[in-house]
Amino acid sequence: MKEFDQKITKSILTGVQPSGVITLGNYIGAIKQMVRMQDEFKSYIFIADMHAITIPQDPASLHKNIRSLVALYLACGIDPNKNIIFIQSENEYHANISWLLECNTPFGELSRMTQFKDKSSKNVNFYAGLFTYPVLMAADILAYDVDYVPVGIDQKQHVELARNIAERFNKKYGETFKIPDAYITKSGTKIMDLVNPDKKMSKSSANQKGVIYILDDLKVIQKKIMSATTDSECLIKYDPENKPGISNLINICVALTGKKVEEIERDFAGKNYGEFKKYVANIVTTEISSIQKRYYDIINSSTLDKILDENIKITREIAKNKFMLMKEKMGLYK
């Protein structure tokens, strides 16, 4: 069975919902960070399929998207020899732990989650899972006693909730969970929609022209970037408040090239938006085209199933131990 390098002591965990193909925002905000961190941390990365069903899904598409996301993780550079990659719903202890945590989470605290307020306001017929989803996320994190949770800023509030839940549980029942920290990089904090740069780039965005998907045709990606909303100033300067469109494109460049904001501003001083957009499109399509090449090699390979089968055993063992400990602490029958 796979084991982590003994010298590595700190651990991380993150997940992405398989509700369609991942966006450039998911890639920069979560996956790229995991790739960067995988040599230094014990890394757990999973497909959050039980989170995806908090919004109605077409079963056949969901099934396809789950496997596709595993292949995308690998294609993006998540190394299966360094990370434990697994599918959330294959480990029933996440839901078991979540229930015990739900019974220790105040209703009022969950009502304050901004993502819930936002999503429920868009659809009056939402289901209970949409409300309790952050507790399942806390269960995902707390089951593994990880140190850091690499996420985009939109998930920060949920990681904070996980910390609160853990602290309260530890206080009430005795030391049970490690308290994790959100890990958020500066440049990838929040990639914005290309058409509406005041909104985050999201699969559920109303105008799909503002969203770049990792499996989009490269010409389509180029077109989306070339028609990104900017402003009338013709000045390439980082100023998210007054120039959200240009600042978003700068952010994308910083995240993908590792260059500093000032360097990009200097390189494009006096140049027009068309030139800058061409440069951004080139950076994005170069990165995405190599991911796509790897993806189409991996998607039908049987090694994918082998990796998942091996890893699920490891994660079930860890999460089961945590669940049993929680049961004991709470006085449930063991």
**Phi then psi for 82, rounded to 5 degrees?**
-110, -15
Position with the least CB separation from ligand TYM? 29
User: For residues 313 and 1, is the Cβ–Cβ distance under 8 A?
Assistant: yes
| Interface residue with ligand TYM, options 75, 78, 113, 141 (CB under 6 A) | 141
Residues 6+ apart with CB under 8 A from 97: 139, 142, 143, 319, 322, 323, 326
Does the active-site annotation cover 2? no
x/- track of binding to ligand TYM for residues 40-69 (CB under 6 A): --------x--x------------------
Cα 251 to Cα 35, 203, 233, 244: the distances in Å are 18, 19, 18, 10
Cα 216 to Cα 59, 223, 274: the distances in Å are 22, 11, 21
**Where does residue 62 rank: exposed (0-12), middle (13-18), buried (19+ CB within 10 A)?**
middle
Q: Does 190 bind ligand TYM (CB under 6 A)?
A: yes
Q: Does 26 bind ligand TYM (CB under 6 A)?
A: yes
Catalytic residue among 32, 82, 190, 200: 200
Does the active-site annotation cover 200? yes
Residue number with CB closer to ligand TYM (62 or 235): 62
Catalytic residue among 203, 278, 320, 329: 203
Residue number with CB closer to ligand TYM (80 or 180): 180
| Interface residue with ligand TYM, options 147, 154, 265, 310 (CB under 6 A) | 154
Cα 327 to Cα 134, 162, 167, 311, 320: the distances in Å are 21, 18, 17, 24, 10
Q: Does 197 bind ligand TYM (CB under 6 A)?
A: no
Catalytic residues, by residue number, are 119, 200, 203
Interface residues with ligand TYM (CB under 6 A) are 13-17, 25-26, 28-30, 48, 51, 137, 140-141, 149, 151-152, 154-155, 188, 190-191, 200-202
